[in-house]
Structure 1
Amino acid sequence: MSDESHDKAAVLVVDDEEIIRLFAKRALSMAGYHVLEAEDGIAAQAVLGEQAVDVVLTDLRMPRMGGLELMRWARKECPDPVWVILSALEHFDVAVDAVELGAFQFLTKPLSAEALRVTIRNAVDLRRLVIERERLNGELEVSNAQLRQKVEQLERLCGMLYRQAETIQTDLLRAEGIQRALLPRRAPPMEGFQVHAVYQPSQLVGGDHYDLIPVAPRRVALYVADAAGHGLSAALLSVLFNQRIRPVDEASGEPASPARVLRQVNRALLDECASQGLFVTAVYGLLDTDSGELRLASAGHPPVVVHRSKGDCTLLPHTGPALGIEEEARFKECCVRLEVGDRVLMYTDGLCDVGPAQDPLDVGRIAGEIERGGADAKGALGGLLRAVAQARGHEANEDDISVLLLEATPGNSTIDNGQRRTTHGRAPERSGDVLVGTVGDALCLSIRGRGTWTQCEPLHEVALATLDAGRDLVIDFAECNYLDSTYLGTIHELVTLADERGVPLHMQGVQPKVVGLFDELSMWRVKAHIGPDVLPMPSKLAPLSETAEDRGRTRKRILQAHEVLASLDERNREQFADVIEMLKTQQRANGKG
């Protein structure tokens, strides 16, 4: 009966005995194979040179050329067929030699038709498996070549994105400098009064703005404004608001009333940039330092807190809508007369938007903090900001914060606009910069900005050399706000090596967001190396020298870092399983490329 699964498989029978060839041909033809014959090795060479053969069934002892010599020739000239050895029992040792040359199986004479068919069927199966493997390997090589092209494209795109990010970072730093330059650098003379101001943007640039403007003898305009949103668009809107403030009436030369100032700004914003979602909240006041009268108008802004020296506290709500929304908006004014020791707090909503939902830092708590501040106005403001930081916990500012605290008491005013993050004319350090220096025998590494995979290989190399030398290693994260998974895995690997070798490794200045990443990935060993003490860093730090680009080493570092993270717990293993498999596939592809 024909074996349909092996139809058209070609079998070459090589034997100097015609009766053996005829027996094998009859048995295999009945099973559906295409059978070819050759009387010895020389004749078999001719057949193999002309036709594709799947299996060769050959005797070992034949005139002119035996089976072993034929196999040696075929290994170079015709390596594809599967070889089955046919031999008498007395030739058993030679048959074993043939198997070592690569023969699939051997049969002994006299032949059994059933044993022959089973052996040939298995040999054909093997041949077809080899063909299928070669086909799949060919497809895999094509896929790997395509994958390598895509990886190279992604690496080029990543490089372009990093360069664009550096350009954007430079522009943002310059914009920050411009925006801070628009804030007051010092308070104007305010006889009988003092004012303390603090500005804390949540990003490099923000939507908050405030100012203190002398508009006439013993008359000072003061305002706090908050443009909708965060970042660059909010910053530009706040700058536009600042440019459209007209604190003095152009016709009379007298200080403009707060309501008039807000009406004018509202019209300007609607004329120049009316758009859904673009608006500004603001509170504007005009202070007469002689009489202590403070006139206020508020456009959708958080309540002004008036705290009397006798302990009473009043909240003054907004007196009109936010600016840039309603064309015919009207703004009322309220007037308070300040006595000695009275305080007025004007602020943006970033001061309130902190703390858990069940216990927010609301206006009532803000007023309470001002009251608890005691006689020192500056100290009271400092206490309020500490309460904000405590309520925020480890989270970074999600909104800009601007605060003005006015007190009817003679004293020195203070302005705190924070420190400008400047590059001093240089391009900003790119994401993941590592600076290196030494203090005594210890090597100090300072991680700056966003730590990404691009710096992990040189970081690992220099840190590993330090640990190999038994030198202390200090890693400072004070200016690092993010680490990607490759960076995290590399840090964990270095900490583990330090522990195994008994070399001190100290981590400091770790920001709350980075600590959160350690917690998320169960990096408890790393957290144990975060010290409470901040060790002094070198006065001079130099950029870490980069090694020549070696994509193979970089890919290996990325893979190894993710394998480290995956080993920490089951959740990590599941999270990074696909990533690790992709990296291993890519590594195999590059090994063949």
Structure 2
Amino acid sequence: MPNALVVAEYEVARSEAVAELDGALREEGFVVRHAEPADLPLRLAPEARPDLLLVSASLGLQRLALVSQRFLADGGAPTIVAFCDGDLAALEECVRGGFDYVLRPFLPSLLRSRVNSCWERWQLSTTVEEMAELASLREYERELSIAREIQAGFLPESMPTLHGWEIGARFRPARQVGGDFYDIFTIVNGRRLAFVVADVCDKGVGAALFMALIRTLLRHTAEHTGLGQMVSDDLAVAVNNGSSNDVVLPLLSLGAGPLIQAVVGTNQYMARNHLKQGYFATMFFGVLDPQSGDLLYINGGHNPPVVLRSDGGQSLLPPTGPAVGILSDSSYTLGHVHLAPGDALFTYTDGVVEARNPDHGLYGMPRLRALLNGPPPHTETLLDSVDGSVRLFAGTAEQSDDITTLALRRTPSPAHTAL
């Protein structure tokens, strides 16, 4: 049998109008209960939720709204009607507030017709609201899909083909769009290979917008740094080779200019123009000489890439400067590493090492280094191995951050392979 709850103050609840309303409801087959506003519990048990809620108009619009919200917020969805107990001005206020109403005389047939009309109107209103929400959701999803397509357009369509090198990358955002990105392209008339792996703080649409901006600034500056802004091939460049002292190398300098200009220029632009938005990026930007295997790089506050040696050894490339976009006067040191035949470089974002399993355990750097132990395999095998390991570790846990990996491997020489 349907349940009706009549809510009114003590005096109204004992009035002739409420008695008449009670009788008409019972005659129409309702199980009727009564309650004063102050006696309503903060939370209602499922069996206490009525099918029809009738509230005295004399409570006023504000109190009527509070009573109705208590039922709606608790998961119930009764038909809510204000009934007139003689105060027509109070009823008019409730009607202006959007509530349905019933008037005396409370005859069973008239009451049934009125309640049915109220219920149908409520159903129609609910359906319209649901349709509007669905349309809004579909529009949001469509816009997100467009944003993802646009973001995908900022990623390389294919990896450059270099004789003697294997190159590969993976990108798996935590949401439809993300703040991670990678890029790889040639500079200095094809004589150097530039590549970037970066992580814009936060994730989602905001991070994706800044990802597009930072990626564009880096690539445009690196590709268009003129010869006058480059360091001469004959000029020694002070770089850090991973030891405590700087060393002087009379090589590599052809790629130093684009590298320095791209990172420093992007940092200055972001810090001066977008500091209030609070977005910054960690990044590893490398410039490789494919002929020699020498690599110049700047690590701007990013997770240390792992250098994998052909004999199974490992080393890390720690930061050489802060994250990009925080301080306009930040300084960056050039790092240097040599990749011999059979060596590889694995770069990644923190979504790899900070992946968590259902028990909130952390994947961590030790697990990654253990996985990478031994002579580096083919690039695709290496990337698949890391991706599979992270997925297996995370299991059913939700991916909490974007995951990006990039690896390059110098093909072993025939003599090395024979060994």
Which band: TM-score by shorter chain? 0.5 to 0.7
Shift of the 139–364 alpha-carbon distance from structure 1 to 2, 3 Å rule, reads closer
Aligned residue in 2 for 1:333: 334
Equivalents in 2 of 1:343, 1:286: separation in Å?
Answer: 14
1:280 and 2:316 correspond: no
SS of 1:275's equivalent?
helix
The Cα of 1:393 is off from its aligned counterpart by 0.6
1:193 and 2:165 correspond: yes
Whether the aligned pair in 2 keeps the contact of 1:219 and 1:289 (CA below 8 Å) is yes
Shift of the 139–406 alpha-carbon distance from structure 1 to 2, 3 Å rule, reads closer
Shift of the 302–151 alpha-carbon distance from structure 1 to 2, 3 Å rule, reads farther
SS of 1:252's equivalent?
helix
1:379 and 2:381 correspond: yes
Equivalents in 2 of 1:385, 1:229: separation in Å?
Answer: 21
SS of 2:370's equivalent?
helix
What are the residue-to-residue correspondences of 1:227-376 with 2, within 5 Å? 227-245=200-218, 246-248=221-223, 249-250=225-226, 252=228, 254=230, 255=255, 256-356=257-357, 359-371=361-373, 375-376=377-378
Aligned residue in 1 for 2:410: 408
Q: Which consecutive unaligned segments of at least 5 residues does structure 2 have?
A: 1-13, 27-52, 56-79, 83-98, 102-117, 231-254, 414-419
The Cα of 1:323 is off from its aligned counterpart by 1.4
Shift of the 129–194 alpha-carbon distance from structure 1 to 2, 3 Å rule, reads closer
Equivalents in 1 of 2:314, 2:21: separation in Å?
Answer: 85
Aligned residue in 1 for 2:154: 182
The Cα of 1:191 is off from its aligned counterpart by 2.4
Whether the aligned pair in 2 keeps the contact of 1:194 and 1:410 (CA below 8 Å) is no
Shift of the 214–135 alpha-carbon distance from structure 1 to 2, 3 Å rule, reads same
SS of 2:287's equivalent?
strand
Aligned residue in 1 for 2:185: 213
Whether the aligned pair in 2 keeps the contact of 1:206 and 1:231 (CA below 8 Å) is yes
What are the Cα deviations for residues 272-303 of structure 1, in whole angstroms up to 9, with x where unaligned?
A: 32225311111100000111111111111111
Residue 196 of structure 2 aligns with an amino acid whose one-letter code is Y
Whether the aligned pair in 2 keeps the contact of 1:319 and 1:333 (CA below 8 Å) is yes
Residue 338 of structure 2 aligns with an amino acid whose one-letter code is R
Shift of the 224–156 alpha-carbon distance from structure 1 to 2, 3 Å rule, reads same
Equivalents in 2 of 1:290, 1:336: separation in Å?
Answer: 14
1:168 and 2:133 correspond: no
Residue 81 of structure 2 aligns with an amino acid whose one-letter code is V
The Cα of 1:360 is off from its aligned counterpart by 2.1
Equivalents in 2 of 1:372, 1:308: separation in Å?
Answer: 8
Aligned residue in 1 for 2:22: 133
Residue 215 of structure 1 aligns with an amino acid whose one-letter code is I
Aligned residue in 1 for 2:40: none
2:81 aligned to 139, 142, 147, which one? Answer: 142
Residue 211 of structure 2 aligns with an amino acid whose one-letter code is S
The Cα of 1:157 is off from its aligned counterpart by 2.6
Equivalents in 2 of 1:295, 1:302: separation in Å?
Answer: 17
Equivalents in 2 of 1:301, 1:374: separation in Å?
Answer: 22
1:225 aligned to 188, 198, 209, which one? Answer: 198
Residue 363 of structure 1 aligns with an amino acid whose one-letter code is M
Higher relative contact order (CA 8 A, sep 6+): 2
Larger CA Rg, structure 1 vs 2: 1
Aligned residue in 2 for 1:501: none
Equivalents in 2 of 1:308, 1:334: separation in Å?
Answer: 18
Equivalents in 2 of 1:154, 1:273: separation in Å?
Answer: 43
The Cα of 1:150 is off from its aligned counterpart by 5.5
How high is the TM-score relative to the length of structure 2? 0.62
Equivalents in 1 of 2:364, 2:18: separation in Å?
Answer: 73
SS of 1:341's equivalent?
coil
SS of 2:228's equivalent?
coil
Shift of the 184–410 alpha-carbon distance from structure 1 to 2, 3 Å rule, reads farther
The Cα of 1:375 is off from its aligned counterpart by 3.1
Shift of the 307–373 alpha-carbon distance from structure 1 to 2, 3 Å rule, reads closer
Residue 228 of structure 2 aligns with an amino acid whose one-letter code is S
The Cα of 1:183 is off from its aligned counterpart by 0.8
SS of 2:396's equivalent?
coil
Number of residue pairs matched by the alignment: 286
How high is the TM-score relative to the length of structure 1? 0.45
What are the residue-to-residue correspondences of 1:397-436 with 2, within 5 Å? 397-409=399-411
Equivalents in 2 of 1:237, 1:152: separation in Å?
Answer: 43
Residue 293 of structure 1 aligns with an amino acid whose one-letter code is D
Whether the aligned pair in 2 keeps the contact of 1:373 and 1:379 (CA below 8 Å) is no
Residue 201 of structure 1 aligns with an amino acid whose one-letter code is P
The Cα of 1:128 is off from its aligned counterpart by 10
Equivalents in 2 of 1:339, 1:330: separation in Å?
Answer: 29
What are the residue-to-residue correspondences of 1:1-16 with 2, within 5 Å? none
Aligned residue in 1 for 2:395: 393
Shift of the 154–128 alpha-carbon distance from structure 1 to 2, 3 Å rule, reads closer
Q: Which consecutive unaligned segments of at least 5 residues does structure 1 have?
A: 1-124, 412-593
Whether the aligned pair in 2 keeps the contact of 1:307 and 1:367 (CA below 8 Å) is no
Equivalents in 2 of 1:189, 1:369: separation in Å?
Answer: 27
Equivalents in 1 of 2:383, 2:389: separation in Å?
Answer: 10
Equivalents in 2 of 1:314, 1:226: separation in Å?
Answer: 22
SS of 1:365's equivalent?
helix
Equivalents in 1 of 2:18, 2:409: separation in Å?
Answer: 89
The Cα of 1:371 is off from its aligned counterpart by 2.4
What are the Cα deviations for residues 361-400 of structure 1, in whole angstroms up to 9, with x where unaligned?
A: 2122212212257533321221111110011111232211
Equivalents in 1 of 2:81, 2:296: separation in Å?
Answer: 77
What are the residue-to-residue correspondences of 1:107-126 with 2, within 5 Å? none
Whether the aligned pair in 1 keeps the contact of 2:298 and 2:334 (CA below 8 Å) is yes
Equivalents in 2 of 1:251, 1:360: separation in Å?
Answer: 46
Shift of the 133–318 alpha-carbon distance from structure 1 to 2, 3 Å rule, reads same
What are the Cα deviations for residues 485-530 of structure 1, in whole angstroms up to 9, with x where unaligned?
A: xxxxxxxxxxxxxxxxxxxxxxxxxxxxxxxxxxxxxxxxxxxxxx
Tell me how large the CA RMSD over aligned residues is. Answer: 2.9
Whether the aligned pair in 2 keeps the contact of 1:360 and 1:391 (CA below 8 Å) is no
The Cα of 1:129 is off from its aligned counterpart by 9.1
Shifted more, 281-290 versus 253-262: the winner is 253-262
SS of 2:261's equivalent?
helix
Residue 299 of structure 2 aligns with an amino acid whose one-letter code is S
Equivalents in 2 of 1:129, 1:358: separation in Å?
Answer: 57
